[in-house]
Amino acid sequence: MLKFVVRRLTLESIPTLLFVATLTFFLIRLAPGGPFSAEKNVPPDVLKRLEAHYGLDKPLLVQYRDYLLNALRGDLGPSFKYPNRTVNELIAVSFPVSLELGIYALAMALAVGIAIGLLASARKNSAADYLSMSAAMMGICVPSFVLGPLLVLVFGIWLGWVGVSGWATPSDRILPAITLSAMYVAYIARLTRGGMLEILSQDFIRTARAKGAGGMRVVFVHALRGGLAPVVSFAGPAMAGVITGSFVVETIFQIPGLGRFFVTAAFNRDYTMIMGTVLFYATLIILFNTAVDILHVWLDPRLRN
């Protein structure tokens, strides 16, 4: 197991992060405009001093080298949009909000998706199977930028049951979590259904039933661990997806998470904030996927080689 983890982190993770950093750095530099192009009537001498202060007057390859060296030390640089704050400070303040939203959304997606998948697998090719899977597929068919405003209109404005903006009260968490989890409910439900149907067709399940095991015992004692293996594999990308995919949801519900800072940085050509956010999210995705792979190898030791 230790060799597996070391191999994943050294031979795959580091080259991936380097590729992401290189691609992002040069793409944002090639984009039209700059971090100070939106400023009104900036005199040329002031613009030169600003560029010299942030090191933008150096050759591009020198800037790239300096950024990588600073990033290796954990210094993501100052923000151009918020000159009195560093990128590290902005991430430290805003990411816990995005993480909390992602945890709520993933927990909701797992609970609802697994329940729907178990129901569908237990009632294969029945009306309950078709209705439950059709309901789950609605999460994919309706995008978050449509579902979010609809939920706000119905449950926030018309009924007034929950908050529709901000992150101050517990009710403010409900609609964003539902909006963000809807798409993943469908994937988890289908994976659960497929995994359970495959396990339920195995010989040891027929043996358990022949020995008198009831339906609930067969599902939850004998079949559930193997049937949820596809869901475990999907959990890492799903966690990364609910966190990195919260940009639209955070904008709709005015949530002060990292996604809103990234959108603002993109509009303002805040080079360091864009780079820092991309690298931070890329690192999270790698860590989530590695953790899930370790769990999957634990469930199936044959994958260690």
pLDDT band at 5 (very low <50, low <70, confident <90, very high): low
Interval 246-250 mean pLDDT: 84
- Asked if 282 and 22 count as a contact pair (C-beta separation under 8 A), the reply is no
Rounded to two decimals, what is the model's pTM? 0.79
Q: How many CA atoms lie within 13 A of 128 on its CB side?
A: 11
Average pLDDT score, the chain: 83
Q: What is the pLDDT of residues 34-61, one digit of tens each?
A: 787 665 566 778 778 888 888 888 899 9
Residue 120 exposed, middle or buried by CB count within 10 Å (0-12, 13-18, 19+): buried
Q: What is the residue extent of each domain of the chain?
A: 95-304
Which residues, listed in sequence order, are joined to residue 78 by a DSSP beta bridge?
86
With bands split at pLDDT 50, 70 and 90, how would you rate the model's confidence at 33?
Answer: confident
Amino acid at 64: Y
- The answer, yes or no, to whether residue 300 has pLDDT greater than 70, is no
Straight-line distance from the first to the last Cα atom of the chain, in angstroms, rounded to the nearest whole number: 9
Take residue 12 and report the two structure tokens written for it: 């795959």
Mean pLDDT score, 260-267: 83
Span of 18-27, 144-153, 210-219, 269-278 with lowest mean pLDDT: 210-219
pLDDT at residue 8 is higher than 80:
no
Q: What is the mean pLDDT of residues 109-116?
A: 90
Q: What is the pLDDT of residues 85-98, one digit of tens each?
A: 899 999 999 999 99
CATH 1.10.3720.10 matches 95-304: yes
